[in-house]
Amino acid sequence: MSSIKNLWGKFKKFSGRYIVMLIVVSIVLDIIIETFARHSLIKSSIFILGHPLVALCNISLIFAVMSLAMLFKKRCFATAMLSILWLALGVANGVILINRMTPLTTKDFDNLKDGWSIIGNYFSTKTVIIVIVSVVAVVLMGILAYRKSPRMSQKPDYRKVTATIAIAIISCVTLITGGMKLGALDTFFYNLAYAYADNGVPYCFVITAVKSGVDKPSDYSKERITGIFRNNELGKNKTYEPGTDDNTDVAKKPNVIFLQLESFIDPTLVKSVKFNKDPMPNYRKLMKEYSSGYLTVPACGAGTANVEFEVMTGMSVKNFGPGEYPYKTILKKNTVECAPYDMKQLGYSTHAVHNHRGAFYYRNKVFANMGFDTFTCLEYMNNVVKTPKNWAKDQILTEQITDAMKSTKGEDYIYTISVQGHGRYPTEQLIENPEIEVTKANTEEQKWAYEYYANQVYEMDKFVKELTDTLSEYDEDVVLVMYGDHLPALDMTEEEMKNGSLYQTQYIVWDNFGMTSENKDLMAYQLNADVMKRLGISVGLMNKFHQDNSYSDKYLDDMKALTYDMLYGERYIYGGKNPFKPTDLKMGVKNIKIKEVVQVGEKYYIKGENFTEYSKISLDGEALKTVYLSPTLLQLNEEVDPEDASRMKVSQVEKNKEILSTTE
C-alpha cells in the first residue's frame, strides 16, 4: 500500500499541475471547436451541458492528443502547437460550414488540390492573400516562439511520460467505447452533418480518418452472397457473368441521357423566401407532363461525385466511410460494374460530359474504371460563357450532348454533369436588373444570396427547355433523365423546406417517343434501375437486384453485402474474378488534329482542328508557352530548336497543369 502511495506521490509531483492545465486547455478547446461548428457560443454550451458523456469523450480525445506535448523539453511550445492544430480544425470546419452544408472530414484533405483550383470561385483575391499572409505570419511566429520558449531544466523522464500518455489514451479509448455501447456515440453516420451535431466535432473527425471502405458483413460467405438472388436470376452456380446472364434482346433501345444539374432545386420550396415570378417554369411544366418525383440524394450542399456514384453504380455511399468519396479511394485503382459497363452489353457507346475541369474528383482516370468510352470536359469545349462567380454556364451542354450522339452510328448512353448552379452564393447584390427578384427574405444577405441562386436556376431552366426542344427534333429515340444533385449551400434547415427534407431534389424522365408517365419517389441508387425497368432493360447485376429485391426485408443489408463483395471481397457473385477491365478512355469526342507546323519569322504556328483555350503546344511531354488564336490556330510563345519543331504536338492542359491528352 505504501509503495502505491509513494508512486502516486511521485506522479503528482512529476505531472500534476501540468496535467490539470492540459485538462483545462482541452475543455476550452472543445468549447471553441463546437462554437465554430454551430456558429454560436450559446448553442455549443447547450450541446456540451446537455450531453455530458459525449462532451467528456470529445474532451478526453483532445486531451489524449495534447498529452503528447510531455514528450518535448519545450513543453509550453509543444502545447501551444498542438492547441493551434485543434483550433485550426475548429476554424476550418466553421468556414467550410459557411460555404457548404457538410462538415470538414479527413477525406477533404484528399481534395486540397481540387479545392485550391476553385478557391477563386469562393473567395476574393484579397481574402486569399490575407489568408496566405496570415499563415506565413503564424509560421514565422511559431519559429520565433520556438526559439524564445523556455526549455525544461531536466530531460523528461520518458518512462513516466510514456506511462502518462498511455493512461490518457487508454482512458480515452475506454470512454469512447463505453459511449458507443451506451448509445451516446454513433458508430454509423447516415447523415454526416447530423452526426457532427450529435457526437461532437473531434470524435467525428477522427472517425472519418480511421473508417473507410465498406465493412465486411459478419456473415460474409459465398452462400450469403449468391443466396441474395433467386435461381432464375443468375447463371451457373448462382454467379453473374456480364452479357451471358443478361437478356440483350431488347425491343426498344433509345439513346439514354442522364443530366445531373448542379445544386438544382425548386427555390419556391423554401418557406422564408418569395420571388417575383417562377424561377423554373419549364422544369415545372415537364414535371407535370412526364414521369417525375422526389429523388433522395446522399449529399447536401456539396458532394456531387457521390451522387454520380450512386446513380451509376446502384450502390449507396452511406455504406462507405463517413465523408468518403469512392472516386478518390477504391475507384482510383479498381473497376466497378455500373451503368456504362451494363449499357455496353447492349451495344451502346458510352460518354461522359462535364463543363468543369476534367481532373476534378479524378474523373479523367476514374471514368475509365466505370466503362466510359469518351469524356468531354471543359478543356475540350469552345465558346464557354461563365457566371459572375466564374462557373461555366450550362447552355454549352446542348451542343456537347448532341456532338456525343452524332459521334457514333448506334445508340448512346451519356452521363452529363452540369456546374452552373454551384456556390458560393454572394451576400451582396451581384446581378443588375435580374429576371428573378427576391420579394421576401429574412435578411439582406439572404435576399442577395437567393436572388443570385434563383437567377442561375432560371438560366439552367432555360437550358433544359433548349435541350428538350433540340432532342424533340432528333431523328432517334431519346430518354432524358434530369435531376438536381443536391440542395445548394444556402444554410437551409428542414423546418424551412416545404417538403421537410434537405436531401430531396426532383427528377424527370423525359422522352421523345411517348413513354407512359409514372410518378414515384426514389433513392438516387434506385434511379438507373427504375428507368431501365421502364425501358424493359434488366442488364446488369445491380439493376437486377434493385428491380427484383427492393421490397425485400433484407434489401439494404443485401445491397451492402453485394457492394462489399463486388469491390472489396472475394467477388463470389462473379465466380471469384473481376470481369470488368478499364476502358481506353478518349478525352473529347472530337479529334484534335495537327495539319501543319508553320514558321513565320521567328515564330512557330500550328494549324489544325478543334483547338480550345486549354490547347498547348508541347514537346516531349512538356507544355510550352502557347497563345490560343482560334480553334484552328495556335502560336508558340517561346523558342525551340528548329530541329525539334517537327516533333511538336498539341496537348490539352487543365488548370493545375495536368496534361489530359496529347495528339498522336
Task: Provide the pLDDT for residue 421.
Answer: 95
Altogether, the residues listed in the chain come to a count of 664
Measured between alpha carbons, how far is 564 from 570 in angstroms, rounded to an integer?
A: 9
- In tens, the pLDDT along 441-456 reads 999 999 999 999 999 9
Task: Provide the pLDDT for residue 489.
Answer: 86
Measured between alpha carbons, how far is 198 from 181 in angstroms, rounded to an integer?
A: 16
Q: Which of 322, 276, 338, 349 is nearest to 529 (CA)?
A: 338
Which residue type is seen at 129?
I
Task: Provide the pLDDT for residue 119.
Answer: 55
Task: Provide the pLDDT for residue 7.
Answer: 47
Compute CA 583 distance to the chain's CA centroid, rounded to the nearest angstrom.
Answer: 23
Measured between alpha carbons, how far is 575 from 234 in angstroms, rounded to an integer?
A: 11
What DSSP line would sit under 238-263, residue for residue? Answer: G---TTTTS----S---EEEEEEETT
In 3-state terms the chain splits into helix, strand, coil percentages (rounded to 5) of 50, 15, 35
Task: Provide the pLDDT for residue 11.
Answer: 46
Measured between alpha carbons, how far is 479 from 343 in angstroms, rounded to an integer?
A: 14
Q: Which of 590, 602, 585 is nearest to 650 (CA)?
A: 590
Q: Could you tell me the CA-to-CA distances from 237 to 228, 576, 606 in Å, in that order?
A: 13, 12, 59
Give the list of residues 6+ apart from residue 64 with CB closer than 8 angstroms, or none: 165, 168, 169, 171, 172
Q: Which of 80, 216, 230 is nearest to 145 (CA)?
A: 80
Q: Could you tell me the CA-to-CA distances from 95 to 80, 91, 194, 663 in Å, in that order?
A: 22, 6, 17, 42
Which residue type is seen at 313?
T
- In tens, the pLDDT along 19-46 reads 888 999 999 999 999 999 988 999 999 9
- In tens, the pLDDT along 357-370 reads 999 999 999 999 99
Measured between alpha carbons, how far is 247 from 242 in angstroms, rounded to an integer?
A: 10
The 3-state DSSP class for residue 354 equals strand
Q: Could you tell me the CA-to-CA distances from 149 to 74, 93, 123, 135 in Å, in that order?
A: 7, 30, 36, 20
Q: Could you tell me the CA-to-CA distances from 503 to 78, 98, 307, 454, 607 in Å, in that order?
A: 43, 18, 11, 19, 49
Task: Provide the pLDDT for residue 5.
Answer: 52
Task: Provide the pLDDT for residue 187.
Answer: 75
The 3-state DSSP class for residue 598 equals strand
Measured between alpha carbons, how far is 105 from 108 in angstroms, rounded to an integer?
A: 5
Contact 37, 44 (CB under 8 A): yes
E strand or H helix that includes residue 510: strand 504-511
Residues of the chain with confidence (pLDDT) below 50:
1, 4, 7-8, 11, 14
Task: Provide the pLDDT for residue 190.
Answer: 63
Measured between alpha carbons, how far is 622 from 414 in angstroms, rounded to an integer?
A: 32
Q: Which of 485, 417, 429, 418 is nearest to 455 (CA)?
A: 429
What the block records as the C-alpha cell of 559 is 445491397
H runs (alpha helix) in 51-157: 52-66, 75-99, 112-117, 119-122, 125-148
Contact 338, 313 (CB under 8 A): yes
Task: Provide the pLDDT for residue 376.
Answer: 98
Checking DSSP bridges between strand 593-600 and strand 603-609, what pairing results, if any? antiparallel
Task: Provide the pLDDT for residue 147.
Answer: 63
Q: Could you tell me the CA-to-CA distances from 159 to 4, 178, 241, 583 in Å, in that order?
A: 17, 28, 60, 57
Query: What is the number of other CB atoms lying within 10 angstroms of the CB of residue 165?
Result: 18
What average pLDDT is seen over the chain?
89
Task: Provide the pLDDT for residue 114.
Answer: 58
* Residues paired with residue 504 on neighbouring β-strands, in sequence order: 296
Measured between alpha carbons, how far is 632 from 606 in angstroms, rounded to an integer?
A: 8
DSSP 111: G
Task: Provide the pLDDT for residue 117.
Answer: 57
Angle formed by the axes of helices 52-66 and 201-210, nearest 10°: 60
Measured between alpha carbons, how far is 66 from 50 in angstroms, rounded to an integer?
A: 25
Q: Could you tell me the CA-to-CA distances from 142 to 91, 135, 145 in Å, in that order?
A: 18, 10, 5
Angle at 108 between CA 103 and CA 114, to 5 degrees: 125
